[in-house]
Protein backbone atom coordinates (compact mmCIF):
# COMPACT_ATOMS: atom_id res chain seq x y z
CA UNK A 1 0.00 0.00 0.00
CA UNK A 2 1.28 3.49 -0.80
CA UNK A 3 1.54 5.98 2.04
CA UNK A 4 3.30 9.34 2.43
CA UNK A 5 6.92 9.19 3.51
CA UNK A 6 7.35 11.36 6.61
CA UNK A 7 10.90 12.32 5.62
CA UNK A 8 10.76 13.23 1.92
CA UNK A 9 6.94 13.43 1.49
CA UNK A 10 7.05 11.13 -1.55
CA UNK A 11 5.35 7.74 -1.80
CA UNK A 12 6.49 5.05 0.62
CA UNK A 13 5.42 1.42 0.69
CA UNK A 14 3.55 -0.06 3.66
CA UNK A 15 3.93 -3.84 3.81
CA UNK A 16 0.67 -5.80 3.33
CA UNK A 17 1.02 -7.19 6.85
CA UNK A 18 1.73 -3.70 8.32
CA UNK A 19 5.16 -4.88 9.48
CA UNK A 20 7.28 -2.14 7.91
CA UNK A 21 7.35 1.10 5.92
CA UNK A 22 9.96 1.61 3.21
CA UNK A 23 10.72 4.58 0.96
CA UNK A 24 13.02 3.85 -1.96
CA UNK A 25 13.56 7.56 -2.70
CA UNK A 26 15.11 8.58 0.65
CA UNK A 27 15.95 5.18 2.15
CA UNK A 28 13.44 5.27 5.01
CA UNK A 29 13.04 1.78 6.49
CA UNK A 30 11.20 1.32 9.78
CA UNK A 31 8.50 -0.71 11.45
CA UNK A 32 4.94 0.54 11.20
CA UNK A 33 4.94 1.33 14.94
CA UNK A 34 8.07 3.45 14.49
CA UNK A 35 6.38 5.17 11.53
CA UNK A 36 3.31 6.05 13.61
CA UNK A 37 5.50 7.50 16.37
CA UNK A 38 7.64 9.40 13.87
CA UNK A 39 4.59 10.97 12.20
CA UNK A 40 2.96 11.78 15.56
CA UNK A 41 6.12 13.50 16.81
CA UNK A 42 6.82 15.44 13.62
CA UNK A 43 3.36 16.44 12.36
CA UNK A 44 1.23 18.28 14.91
CA UNK A 45 -2.06 17.41 13.20
CA UNK A 46 -1.43 13.71 13.93
CA UNK A 47 -0.14 13.98 17.50
CA UNK A 48 -3.38 12.57 18.91
CA UNK A 49 -2.97 9.21 17.13
CA UNK A 50 -0.69 8.00 19.92
CA UNK A 51 -3.84 7.64 22.02
CA UNK A 52 -4.94 4.83 19.70
CA UNK A 53 -2.06 2.72 21.01
CA UNK A 54 -2.95 2.84 24.69
CA UNK A 55 -5.19 0.44 26.57
CA UNK A 56 -8.61 1.43 27.83
CA UNK A 57 -8.55 5.18 28.29
CA UNK A 58 -11.88 5.78 29.97
CA UNK A 59 -11.25 8.47 32.54
CA UNK A 60 -7.60 8.79 31.52
CA UNK A 61 -5.60 10.78 29.02
CA UNK A 62 -3.10 9.37 26.56
CA UNK A 63 -0.38 11.63 27.95
CA UNK A 64 1.93 13.94 26.13
CA UNK A 65 4.41 13.15 23.38
CA UNK A 66 7.16 13.24 26.03
CA UNK A 67 5.44 10.33 27.81
CA UNK A 68 5.97 8.21 24.68
CA UNK A 69 9.72 8.74 24.47
CA UNK A 70 11.91 5.64 24.93
Asked whether residue 40 is assigned to any structural domain, the reply reads yes
Asked whether residue 26 is assigned to any structural domain, the reply reads yes
Asked whether residue 66 is assigned to any structural domain, the reply reads no
Asked whether residue 44 is assigned to any structural domain, the reply reads yes
Q: At 49, give phi and psi (nearest 5°).
A: -70, -20
Asked whether residue 28 is assigned to any structural domain, the reply reads yes
Asked whether residue 30 is assigned to any structural domain, the reply reads yes
Q: Answer whether 26's CB lies under 8 Å from 38's CB.
A: no
pLDDT digits (tens, 9 = 90+) for 27-52: 999 999 899 888 887 777 766 666 66
Output the 3-class SS for 10-42. Answer: CEEEECCCCCEEECCCCCCEEEHHHHHHHHHHH
Asked whether residue 70 is assigned to any structural domain, the reply reads no
Q: Is the pLDDT of residue 19 over 80?
A: yes
Q: How many CB atoms neighbour CB 1 within 10 A?
A: 9
Containing domain of residue 16, as a range?
2-56
* CA distances (Å), origin 65, targets 9, 21, 31, 59: 22, 21, 19, 19
Mean pLDDT of the residues in the chain? 79
Amino acid sequence: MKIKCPKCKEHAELAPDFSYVECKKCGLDMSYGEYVRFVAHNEAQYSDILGDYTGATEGETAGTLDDWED
